């Protein structure tokens, strides 16, 4: 069974700093998808960024980028120029062969003014 | 376009009762998935529906069931509630069922079992 591990339960940085959230996963498959979802306090979960495993190029969405290391089964999220609105729970997720998402335990990120 | 809506938003039940939660997907979306979110177990997949058919099911007891209607709205039912069923139940919709699809989440229904 696929598993997703987020080793940082909580992180806190100052506004405008860069922060990196870690995620590792376990699978024996070659084709799969990785996601980072953001769940702000009392608000709906939204997709931040998506990576297809067969693409070597790291995905980027504005201030958000990933470092995808397929051999190491690592998928970290970098947030540049962090903003107060980035405060949220961040979940790393995996899907393969089906739409079902397997989530990590989450990292609670706080951006301080 | 309206987002995914879930009703009710909050629910309090007692052990042994049953509960039905509802999810209306984004207009045009035909796939609905359900997830349970608890502090201890995190986010766990419950089921996935497409065109009124259950396509995938998570590792939950038979007390958890669901269905999807012809208008793509979905309901999930939990019978004989247990204290451990207290959780935030999230519904997510997407256009079709496809690995790698973006799924759009609703605000959730927070169920408390006393």
Q: Is B77 helix (H, G, I), strand (E, B) or coil?
A: strand
Q: What is the pLDDT of residue B98?
A: 76
A52: helix, strand or coil: strand
Q: Summarize the confidence of residues A92-96 as an average pLDDT.
A: 92
Residue A53: closest C-alpha in chain B: B100
Query: For residue B39, what are the contacts with CB-CB under 8 A and spacing of at least 6?
Result: none
Residues 42-81 (B) with a CB less than 8 A from some CB of A: 42-45, 48, 55-56, 58
Please check whether residue A99 is in contact with residue B99, taking contact to mean a CB–CB distance below 8 angstroms. Answer: yes
Note whether A103 and B42 are within 8 A (CB): yes
Residues within 8 A of B (CB atoms), A 48-67 only: 50, 52
Q: How far is B31 from chain A (nearest CA, A)?
A: 10
Residue B93 binned pLDDT confidence (cut-offs 50, 70, 90): very high
The pLDDT assigned to B18 comes to: 98
Summary mean pLDDT of chain A: 94
Q: Which two tokens stand for residue A103?
A: 């989530």
Mean pLDDT along residues B6-31? 97
Nearest-Cα residue of chain B relative to residue A103:
B43
Query: Per residue in A14-65, pLDDT tens?
Result: 999 999 999 999 998 888 999 999 999 888 999 999 999 998 899 999 999 9
Which pLDDT band, with edges at 50, 70 and 90, does B102 fall under? Answer: confident
Q: What pLDDT, on a 0 to 100 scale, did the predictor assign at position B35?
A: 97
Structure tokens at A15: 């506004």
Whether B74 and B68 have beta carbons less than 8 Å apart is answered as: yes
End-to-end Cα distance, chain A? 41
pLDDT at B2 over 90: no
Q: Which chain B residues contact residue A61 at CB under 8 A?
A: none
Closest residue on chain A to B33 (Cα): A100
The CA distance from A110 to B16, in Å, is: 39
Name A101's Cβ contacts closer than 8 Å, sequence gap at least 6: A35, A93, A94, A95, B33, B35, B43, B45, B103
């Amino acid at each position: 069974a696929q598993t997703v591990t987020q080793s940082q339960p909580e992180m806190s940085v100052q506004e405008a700093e860069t922060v990196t959230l870690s995620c590792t996963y376990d699978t024996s498959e070659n084709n799969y998808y990785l996601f980072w979802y953001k769940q702000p306090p009392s608000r709906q979960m939204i997709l931040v960024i998506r990576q297809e495993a067969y693409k070597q190029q790291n995905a980027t969405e504005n201030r958000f980028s990933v470092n995808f290391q397929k051999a190491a089964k690592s998928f970290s999220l970098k947030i540049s120029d962090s903003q107060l609105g980035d405060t949220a729970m961040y979940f790393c997720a995996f899907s393969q062969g089906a739409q079902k998402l397997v989530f990590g335990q989450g990292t609670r990120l706080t951006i301080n003014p | 376009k309206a987002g995914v809506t879930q009703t009710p938003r909050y629910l309090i039940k007692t052990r042994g009762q049953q509960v039905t939660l509802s999810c209306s997907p984004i207009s045009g979306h035909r796939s609905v998935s359900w997830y349970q979110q608890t502090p201890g177990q995190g986010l766990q997949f419950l089921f996935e529906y497409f065109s009124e058919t259950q396509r995938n099911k998570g590792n939950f007891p038979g007390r958890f069931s669901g269905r999807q209607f012809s208008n793509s709205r979905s309901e999930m039912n939990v019978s004989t509630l247990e204290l451990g069923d207290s959780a935030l139940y999230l519904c997510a919709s997407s256009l079709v069922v496809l690995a790698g699809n973006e799924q759009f989440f609703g605000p959730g229904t927070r169920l408390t079992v006393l």
